Structure 1
Amino acid sequence: MATDPISGLRLRGLPVNEHIDFNSLDGFRFADGEGFPASYRAFVRRAGWGRTFGLWLIYPPVRPGYADGLLGHGAQLTARFRASYRAGESEGFGWMVEPDGHWPLATALEVFAWSENGDALLWDSTARDTDGEFPIWESRDFDSLHYLGTGLREALPLVRSRAVSILGPRPFDVEPLPATLL
C-alpha cells in the first residue's frame, strides 16, 4: 500500500502555524454549505505555512493581520486568473484552456497555491465529489489548464514530480516559512 502523500510529507523542522486561522480552516463554508476538503485541511495541519517541493506556496487561511492567506492573497490571485482568462477567451486564445480545460471551467476555478515560477494550483469548488474533495487543476503561467486529480492526495504526487523535474530532488518536501504580518 502506498504512503499517504500528505502524512508522508517530509518537513524541515516544525510546521509554522501560529498565524493559521484554524477556526476558519474548520468553519469556513463554500456556496454549497460545505467546508474545505479533508485533504486540504490535512495538508494545512501537517505542513503549516511553507514552501512545498521547493516551489509551491499552498495558502492556508490566516488570522487577521497576516499576509499570504488563502482568503486574502488567494482571492487576489483568483481575480487575476479570471481576468486573464476572460481576456484570453475574448481574444480567441483557445490554447489557454488546453490540454484539459474549457472556458466555463476557468470562471469557476479558485487559486489556492502559487509557485515561485508563476504557476497556480486551483480547485473547482462548484464540483465537489462525494468524498467532499474538489478537482485540482494547474495553470502554467495562466496559459494552460492541466487536470491533476480529485483532491490534494491525488494531485500532490504529480506536483512533486513536476517540481523534481524542474529543481531536482530535495531533502525535504516542506520548508517552513516565517509568518508575515501585513
Structure 2
Amino acid sequence: MYKELLNISKANLTTTRNITQIGSFEIPPSYLQFAQEIGFGRLLGLFLTYIPMGENTPYCDALEHRNAHWKEIFQMYLKEYPDRLFLKKEADNKERLANAEPFLFSENGEVVFWDSRNRDDKGECPIYLVDFSTGIYLAGNTFKEFILNLTDKAKVKSILKFEDDPLLRTFDPLPLKD
C-alpha cells in the first residue's frame, strides 16, 4: 500500500520483519505495515522514520532507542515546564504527553507520537504531533491518514503551523548507523 502512496527514491530499503512491540507497547498495524514495507528513512521530505529492531540492537536509530529517548524528554518537559501555555491549551495535553509513545522526529524539531490510552478495535492509536513552541495537534488516526493529512493543502496547516504548502509524498531510504 505505501509503495503506491509514496514516490520512493532509488536506494535500498531497510525494513523490519518480526518485531511488533516496543517494550510492552504493541505497534499499531498501519505503522507496522509501513515499517515492514518501506522502513527507515526520510518521509515527506521532513520526518525521520524509525523501525523496531529489537531491544538489544546496536543501532542508535532503532525505534526502541528513539522512543525511550523522547519519552525521557517528554517526562522532563512535564516536570520542568508544567505551566507552558501549549500544555494548558487543552485539558488533556499533559496526560496525552505523559502517555505518549513517540515514533517519528521531524528535521524541524517536532515529535510525532501515538496516544497509547486510546487504541481502537483495529489496534490503531491516534497520532499527534507536538511542536514545543505552539502545541499538540491531532495528525491522524492511522499512519496512512497521517501521510494523507500532511500532503493535503486544506489540512496541513492545522497540523504543521508554519507550513503553507502540503508536503510532497516522498520517501528517501537512509542507511542505519551504529
Fold match, TM over 0.5?
Answer: yes
> Cα 1:132–1:61, aligned 2, differ >3 Å: closer, same or farther?
same
Give the TM-score of the pair, scaled to structure 1: 0.78
- 2:6 maps to 1:41: no
8 A contact 2:86–2:133 mirrored in 1: no
The answer as to 2:108 corresponding to 1:117 is yes
Superposed, 1:21-170 pairs within 5 Å as: 21-24=16-19, 26=20, 28=21, 31=24, 35-62=26-53, 64-89=57-82, 92-96=83-87, 98=89, 101-141=92-132, 143-161=134-152, 162=156, 165=163, 170=168
Q: Deviations over 1:88-118 (max 9, x none)?
A: 32xx224235368422222101210000110
Which of the two has greater strand per residue? 2
Judging changes above 3 Å, is the alpha-carbon distance between structure 1 residues 142 and 86 closer, same or farther for their aligned structure 2 residues? farther
Query: 2: CA distance between counterparts of 1:50 and 1:66?
Result: 14
RMSD: 2.8
What is the CA distance between 1:142 and its match in structure 2? 6.1
Report the structure, 1 or 2, having the larger helix content: 1
Distance (whole Å) between structure 2 residues aligned to residue 7 and residue 167 of structure 1 = 22
Is 1:10 matched with 2:1? no
User: Which sections of structure 2, spanning at least 5 residues, go unmatched?
Assistant: none
Identity %: 23
Quickly say closer, same or farther: Cα 1:97–1:117, change in 2 above 3 A: farther
What does the per-residue CA deviation read over 1:34-73, in whole Å, with 9 as the maximum and x for residues that have no partner?
A: x321100111122211100111012111252212111112
- For residues 168 and 154 of structure 1, the distance between their equivalents in structure 2, rounded to whole angstroms, comes to 14
* Mean Cα deviation higher: 148-157 or 123-132: 148-157
Q: What amino acid is aligned across from residue 77 of structure 1 in structure 2?
A: W
